[in-house]
Structure 1
Amino acid sequence: MSKTPRKSAASPSLQLGQAVEWPDRPEAAKLDRVPNPQKDTHFLARFTAPEFTSLCPVTGQPDFAHLVIDYVPGPWLLESKSLKLYLASFRNHGAFHEDCTVAIGKRIATEIKPKWLRIGGYWYPRGGIPIDVFWQTGKLPKDVWVPDQGVQPYRGRG
């Protein structure tokens, strides 16, 4: 394996290693992908975003979630800095919990074409009701171990 960093011909303009502006909305955010060097091996990759924030589209109040994104890569890996910037672009975006969670999953799936992907959005209560949203796409290969997402159900003060 080479120790010299190189840009992929498929992704010549990665945000990684560059100073970039924070995108102001999800549509303006760029998700980068890099070639999967283990494309002949089934494995699970997980991203966890415990401080995801968006806005309620009705009240404009902030909504907070713990997101867990699991995927079995196909030809591409999701580059983590671009994911961080994409998720941050929701900070001033008004959308319901279900829409945010599913839109993130669909956008990632479109960009990296995984063999399987699931996203769990564990939203903190507003109005006393926590909302958990789950979406997945693709077929999970039989030889892949998928751990529990590890987010405990909301219990309030109990």
Structure 2
Amino acid sequence: MSTQPSKDLETFPNPRPERDFVLHMRIPEFTCLCPKTGQPDFATIHLDYVPDERCVELKSLKLYMWSFRDQGAFHEAITNEILDDLVRATEPRYMKVTAEFYVRGGIYTTVVAEHRKPGWAPAPKVELA
């Protein structure tokens, strides 16, 4: 596997496809470029998903995130691009990408994009006393 930035997302078989479980990943070193100024934008990306048959492989995810560092895009566009690419690669039951961009011009921006597989609903929440 390459150690260069790459848009290729690798996957592996879900070890427990019969069960809903949540994967949470925190990616604190995301960078891209502001399309207006060319200045770097920094963000923490949170990825939460319920896999179906495939899970994303972590090194390929790291290299994928790294591939944005020289790409200019608005926060809204880049967050949705990440979601679209990950959904295409893994076909999850549910996925949410939350991008928390650091302050720019005195404004913090958080973009949340979600995907739900048609017909999938989470199990009812269990409250334990």
Fold shared, TM-score > 0.5 on shorter chain: yes
TM-score with structure 1 setting the length:
0.74
Q: Which amino acid aligns with 1:110?
A: R
Aligned-partner Cα distance in 2 for 1:88–1:47: 15
Q: Which consecutive aligned stretches of 4+ in structure 1 deviate over 2 angstroms post-superposition?
A: none
* Superposition deviation, residue 140 in structure 1: 4.4
Q: Which residue of 2 aligns with 1:120?
A: 98
Task: Say whether 1:22 aligns with 2:12.
Answer: no
Q: Higher Cα Rg: structure 1 or 2?
A: 1
Q: Compared with structure 1, are the counterparts of its residues 144 and 100 closer, same or farther at alpha carbon in structure 2 (3 Å cutoff)?
A: farther
Q: Does 1:32 align with 2:3?
A: no
**Larger RCO: Structure 1 or Structure 2 (Cα < 8 Å, ≥ 6 residues apart)?**
2
Q: How many residues align?
A: 123
Which one-letter code corresponds to 2:91 in the other structure? K
Residues in 1 aligned to 2:77 and 2:121: alpha-carbon distance in whole angstroms = 24
Q: Normalising to structure 2: TM-score of the pair? A: 0.89
Unaligned runs of 5+ in 2: none
TM-align CA RMSD = 1.5
Give 1:82 shift: 0.3
**Structure 1 regions of 5+ residues with no counterpart?**
1-14, 146-158
Q: Which amino acid aligns with 2:113?
A: W
Post-superposition shift, 1:111?
0.6
In structure 1, the residue matched to 2:33 is 55
Q: The residue matched to 1:84 in structure 2 has which SS?
A: helix
Q: Does 1:141 align with 2:122?
A: yes
Shift of 1:116: 0.2
- Indicate the percent of aligned positions where both proteins have the same amino acid: 40
User: What amino acid is aligned across from residue 77 of structure 1 in structure 2?
Assistant: C
Distance 1:107 1:98 in 2: 14
